[in-house]
């Protein structure tokens, strides 16, 4: 099939491009390289240097006529969304709507959206959190993702555009940008290997559900094959604290670096962990890469990158 991926030079998008090309699909990548990297681009994909808000997106659809769209492009920094909610909305809401309008106009067969888990549910005592738990996004980033899910439902009901929205937990692995404040595994891995100081925000007991990039890609491939529509959590149902992540990385790298504790981030969630029964039942998906193995693979990649 002919597939268009927004954000195909980014962390998740580039891995997905590689997997789809291996399966002989024809790939079109749209990316403005604001957080994606040229080095992540697969040379077998046709690349358009373009912002998803641009009117020129219509020209890409008209020329390429893709059948499927994977939407990975986004303003991904949660803290930036809090500091600049207007900018976040222009990219994550208006940019996504520009994309959806082109999907409607050019009769796309399926739309697969990279959404978020923890940033949609907010802090909850219902752990692991299922898809039907009331959404209460604590940030403009989460609000934008939930808004696009509502629009996807609208475009399906009114225009018949089938969609899958995949609500990821904390994705990690090779190619994750350590300059992004949310990627604690990438940040710690790079700093440990460079011998730099590790700073843990707050007490380090805040937990997240860490899912490896290969498992996330597999969820997208399964969504591509499945008929119907739906919203699915993609996580592991396991909580791991920031302290535990640091401890595991210390063991893998055999470093003696000690962490220092900084002030807590205002408004940061304490716990986030996603229930995945629905994905198991309806997508036939479950995570295969354990945290220890995933961390080893991630550290190995950062070692090569730093060399």
Catalytic positions, written as ranges: 141
Tell me which residue has tokens 């996004």.
137
Structure tokens at 29: 């990548």
Tell me which residue has tokens 């060399």.
307
DSSP at 290: -
Tell me which residue has tokens 């860490």.
210
Neighbours of 154 (CB within 10 A): 12
174 neighbors 298 (Cβ within 8 angstroms) = yes
Q: What is the Cα–Cα distance from 37 to 15, expressed in whole angstroms?
A: 12
- Measured between its terminal Cα atoms, the distance across the chain in Å is 38
Structure tokens at 15: 């891995």
């Amino acid at each position: 099939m002919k597939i268009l991926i927004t954000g195909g030079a980014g962390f998740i998008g580039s891995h997905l491009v590689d997997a789809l090309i291996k399966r002989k699909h024809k790939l079109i990548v749209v990316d403005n390289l604001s957080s994606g990297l040229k080095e992540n681009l697969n040379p077998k994909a046709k690349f358009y240097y373009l912002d998803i808000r641009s009117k020129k997106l219509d020209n890409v659809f008209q020329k390429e006529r893709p059948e499927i769209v994977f939407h990975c492009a986004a303003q991904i920094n949660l803290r930036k969304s809090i500091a600049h909610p207007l900018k976040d909305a222009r990219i994550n809401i208006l940019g996504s709507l520009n994309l959806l309008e082109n999907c409607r106009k050019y009769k796309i067969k399926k739309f697969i959206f990279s959404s978020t888990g923890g940033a949609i549910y907010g802090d909850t005592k219902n752990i692991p959190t299922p898809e039907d738990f009331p959404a209460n996004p604590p940030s403009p980033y989460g609000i934008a993702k939930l808004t696009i899910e509502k629009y996807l439902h609208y475009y399906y009901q009114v225009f018949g555009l089938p969609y899958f929205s995949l609500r990821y937990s904390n994705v990690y692995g090779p190619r994750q940008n350590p300059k992004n404040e949310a990627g604690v595994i990438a940040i710690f891995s790079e700093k440990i290997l460079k011998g730099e100081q590790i700073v843990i925000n707050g007490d380090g007991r805040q937990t997240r559900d860490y899912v490896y990039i290969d498992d996330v890609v597999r969820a997208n491939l399964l969504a591509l094959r499945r008929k119907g529509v739906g919203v699915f959590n993609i996580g592991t149902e396991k909580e791991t604290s920031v302290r535990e992540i640091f401890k595991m990385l210390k063991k893998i790298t055999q470093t003696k670096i000690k962490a220092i504790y900084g002030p807590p981030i205002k408004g940061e969630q304490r716990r986030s962990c996603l229930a995945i029964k629905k994905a198991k039942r309806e997508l036939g998906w479950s995570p295969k890469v354990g945290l220890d193995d995933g961390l080893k693979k991630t550290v190995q990649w950062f070692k090569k990158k730093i060399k």
